[in-house]
Structure 1
Amino acid sequence: MKFQSMLAIYALFWVMSGFLVLPFGVRTADEAGVTKIAGQADSAPHSFSFARVAMRATILASAMFLLFLANYHFGWLTTDTLLRISP
């Protein structure tokens, strides 16, 4: 597999992981014990840390990419395997 392909696949895993970890650790203003701004939605997060989301996404994307790369090299799950499973 070419390096550019690996980089593109990792980027896809990273973006997908970013959306997956985004809702974890979110606290609303009521949960944080601070007053809400007038017009603020009840479900709006109190604060947002992009660094925390990026770190979690990087860890998850790295694990998923390493699993993908191992499957690519060792051939654990192939299209033939998937065709045998389907009815």
Structure 2
Amino acid sequence: MSTGSAIAIYFVIWWIGLFAVLPWGIRSQIEEGDVVKGSDPGAPARPRLLRIVIVNTIFASLIFAAYYVVWTKGLISLDDIPFLPGPKPKL
């Protein structure tokens, strides 16, 4: 696997993971009881984006490390995936 491919795969894992991690621990302004005038009441009271980015980076690094080990050791190949169709026989 080239460095460029590894960076691209890590970025995709990080970005998808961000959408999973983003709502963790977020409380809306209504839940906090402090709605800022002119804002959406469902908006986060304290977004804590730095904490979310750090947690997501750790999460993505663990997932990528597992993927990298599986890829380099050849633990799973495309032949091991049962739903991929094989070559079509010639008639």
TM-score (norm 1): 0.81
- Greater Rg by CA: 2
1:42-61 superposed matches below 5 A = 42-61=41-60
Identity fraction in percent? 29
1:12-31 superposed matches below 5 A = 12-31=12-31
- For residues 21 and 35 of structure 2, the distance between their equivalents in structure 1, rounded to whole angstroms, comes to 25
The match for 2:69 is 70
Whose relative contact order is higher, 1 or 2, with alpha carbons under 8 Å and at least 6 apart? 1
- Offset from partner CA, 1:1-33 (integer Å, 9 cap, x none): 111111111111111111110010101223334
- For residues 76 and 60 of structure 2, the distance between their equivalents in structure 1, rounded to whole angstroms, comes to 19
Contact 2:21 2:55 in 1 (8 A): yes
The match for 2:4 is 4
- For residues 4 and 75 of structure 2, the distance between their equivalents in structure 1, rounded to whole angstroms, comes to 23
- For residues 58 and 12 of structure 2, the distance between their equivalents in structure 1, rounded to whole angstroms, comes to 14
- For residues 32 and 22 of structure 1, the distance between their equivalents in structure 2, rounded to whole angstroms, comes to 18
The root-mean-square deviation of aligned C-alpha atoms, in Å, is: 2.0
Aligned residues: 85
Unaligned runs of 5+ residues in structure 2 are 86-91
